[in-house]
Amino acid sequence: MSRLKQTLSQRQTLSPQQVLQASILQLNVANLEQKILDELENNPVLEQDESQEEEMVDTESAEVDYEEDPDEYEPANIYDNVRSNDRDIPVAEQVDFVEGLVRQLDSFTLSDWERAIAEELLWNLDENGYLAVDLVLIADRYDRTNEEVNHVLEKVQQLDPPGIAAKDLQDCLLIQMKGREQTLAYQVVLNYFGDFANHRYESIQLNMNISKDSLGEIIEEITHLNPRPGEGKIGSGTETVIPDLLAVQREGDWVVIVNDSWIPDLNLSNEYVTLLNQKDIARETQKYLKEKYDSANWFIQAIQQRRHTLTAVLETIINKQPAFFNGNIESLVPMKLQDIASEINMDISTISRSTRGKYVETPYGIFELKSFFTEGYTLEDGEEVSTKTIKDLLKKLIYNENKDSPFTDTDLAKKLKDGGFPVARRTVAKYREQLNLPVARLRRQLTQ
């Protein structure tokens, strides 16, 4: 029976149209514009609407008036003279490499949530190709256990180039040496990495009882591995962020605008459609035109679906975060991707693609959609608060502490409890580490 079940197990396959929709959805507005231009160049059946007039952007009237009717202005007009410090947000400059990694996931049999987490991990690689996100945060965002997230990470770490998505240099080297666990080189990286990294070769030789020649071969083998599998392939700089969405208040209600008004309207070429319908057309020509026709038609539908999905996602976020959108931007309630997915009856992977790398402009500033999703912490009275609220308080306590006598984690836990947030010391330590804030002893040393 188990063999029969294994035989009947199917790999989740997507149609070309579904693959295109997923690809278009995950693009931010800048990359979408480039994708459209590329498609217009490569597909003769796809054409820009000739009736669409190109208008020069008046940069002298750049600020958005949030009180006016949102239908009376072009969102593209707002991006030159707005506060530049709000715009310089780190985003990936070279997405082709990561998109290639995402496509490699098709070789695995992944459930919807596994695929969503795998893509999330890949879009959170640093410029060296290392994992740049805490797995605890991923687990909470997708409502999964740490073990389940680690299982997905192990799949991701099988992608090419070897060593991608490692947690650190040691992990990166061990991943590349998979299958060579019995070699001396593997044992050095596993058991004596500190000595190797600090060139304490004599210590390695002594502990492993090996000759200088063997040690030399081990060093050569390890140094031929790639310590930075993402170097030169993943951008690490900053670029101007253009929000994908605008949240505008009109007559007391929030209106969501997809910010793609300057993107050309697309049509199917009447000339090529007429040619396709001719009976005396050559078979090869007809096949070519049919493929281009389907591709163009799916492309237009994918753009329309993107607008619909992004609008639905942000409208639901607004409904679930009323305090934030009423001006109290420090008050986020705990919310997971699954909450949005369930509300609008979409897959969690769709919500993940909709929020990753997408920004919304509000009257209070620009925010990444992912920032609205936060962990929840249950207080003693049963009330659940966002961990972002607790972390913000924690940062404030540490930044305002006496630098000559900084608070210990126990002190911080007591301060939070006095403020109405009874949090365990170990939880304080976890949040402090996630904020990249050192322990009290090191904070004291840093000020001396």
- Tell me what pLDDT residue 93 has: 38
Contact between 124 and 164 under an 8 Å Cβ cutoff? The reply is no
Let me know if residue 55 belongs to a domain: no
Whether residue 366 sits in one domain with residue 297: yes
Let me know if residue 141 belongs to a domain: no
- Tell me what pLDDT residue 403 has: 80
Report CA-CA distances (Å) from 186 to 48, 59, 196. 57, 59, 12
Instruction: Please compute the mean of the pLDDT values over residues 55-70 and round it to a whole number.
Output: 41
pLDDT at 173 over 70: yes
Contact between 163 and 176 under an 8 Å Cβ cutoff? The reply is yes
Whether residue 273 sits in one domain with residue 183: no
Tokens 């797995």, located at residue: 135
For residue 132, the one-letter residue type is A
Counting every residue, how long is the chain?
448
Work out the angle at residue 353's Cα, subtended by the Cα atoms of residues 298 and 134, and round it to the nearest 5 degrees: 160
- Tell me what pLDDT residue 216 has: 87
Let me know if residue 358 belongs to a domain: yes
Instruction: Please compute the mean of the pLDDT values over residues 295-310 and round it to a whole number.
Output: 93
Residue 382's region, left for phi above 0, alpha for psi from -120 to 50, else beta, is left
- Which residues, listed in sequence order, are joined to residue 360 by a DSSP beta bridge? 245, 367
Let me know if residue 3 belongs to a domain: no
> Which of 371, 396, 414 is the last residue in one of the domains?
371
Q: Six-digit token pair at 425?
A: 């010391």
319-331, pLDDT tens digit by residue? 999 988 988 877 7
Q: Six-digit token pair at 118?
A: 């795998």
- Tell me what pLDDT residue 379 has: 57
Decide: residue 431, CB within 10 A, 0-12 exposed, 13-18 middle, 19+ buried.
Answer: buried
CA–CA separation, 439 vs 428, rounded Å? 11
- Name the band, by pLDDT with cuts 50, 70 and 90, for residue 378: low
Whether residue 386 sits in one domain with residue 361: no
- Tell me what pLDDT residue 11 has: 46
338-374, pLDDT tens digit by residue? 889 999 999 888 998 898 888 998 888 888 898 888 7
- Residues contacting 126, CB < 8 A, separation 6+: 132, 230, 234, 236
Percentage of the chain surpassing pLDDT 90?
14
- Tell me what pLDDT residue 194 has: 86
CA–CA separation, 43 vs 266, rounded Å? 12
Report CA-CA distances (Å) from 29 to 70, 192, 226, 288, 345. 19, 47, 34, 30, 24
103-119, pLDDT tens digit by residue? 888 888 888 888 889 98
> Which of 330, 345, 371 is the last residue in one of the domains?
371
- Tell me what pLDDT residue 123 has: 84
> Which of 330, 352, 371 is the last residue in one of the domains?
371
For residue 149, the one-letter residue type is V
Whether residue 280 sits in one domain with residue 294: yes
Report CA-CA distances (Å) from 117 to 128, 129, 144. 20, 17, 10
Whether residue 207 sits in one domain with residue 260: no
- Total structural domains in the chain? 3
Tokens 């402009």, located at residue: 361
Whether residue 363 sits in one domain with residue 250: yes
Whether residue 298 sits in one domain with residue 408: no
Whether residue 397 sits in one domain with residue 366: no
Most confident of 81-90, 287-296, 437-446: 287-296
200-243, pLDDT tens digit by residue? 888 888 888 888 888 888 888 888 888 888 876 665 444 567 88
Instruction: Please compute the mean of the pLDDT values over residues 165-187 and round it to a whole number.
Output: 90
- Tell me what pLDDT residue 51 has: 59
Let me know if residue 151 belongs to a domain: no
- Tell me what pLDDT residue 80 has: 34
* CATH number of domain containing 392: 1.10.10.60
Query: pLDDT: is 74 or 116 the higher one?
Result: 116
Instruction: Look up the domain containing 422 and give its range.
Output: 376-447
CA–CA separation, 5 vs 378, rounded Å? 41
**HSE-up (13 A, CA, CB side) for residue 111:** 9
Q: Is the pTM of this model over 0.75?
A: no
- Tell me what pLDDT residue 343 has: 92
Total Cβ atoms within 10 A of residue 307 = 13
Percentage of the chain surpassing pLDDT 70?
81
Whether residue 435 sits in one domain with residue 359: no
228-262 in b/e form (b: 16+ CB < 10 A) is: bbbeebbbeeeeebbbbbbbbeeeeeebbbbbbeb
Most confident of 13-17, 313-317, 410-414: 313-317
What helix, strand, coil percent values describe the chain, rounded to 5?
Answer: 55, 10, 40
Instruction: Please compute the mean of the pLDDT values over residues 125-133 and round it to a whole number.
Output: 84
What DSSP assignment string belongs to 123-189?
TTB-TTS-B-S-HHHHHHHTT--HHHHHHHHHHHTTSSSTTTT-SSHHHHHHHHTTT-TTSHHHHHH
- Name the band, by pLDDT with cuts 50, 70 and 90, for residue 394: confident
Whether residue 394 sits in one domain with residue 310: no
pLDDT at 303 over 50: yes
- Residues contacting 255, CB < 8 A, separation 6+: 70, 247, 248, 249
Whether residue 17 sits in one domain with residue 85: yes
Mean pLDDT for all residues in the chain: 78
Let me know if residue 429 belongs to a domain: yes
Q: Six-digit token pair at 332?
A: 């986020």
Whether residue 311 sits in one domain with residue 406: no
- Tell me what pLDDT residue 228 has: 86
Tokens 């715009």, located at residue: 87
Let me know if residue 360 belongs to a domain: yes
Tokens 């991006």, located at residue: 79
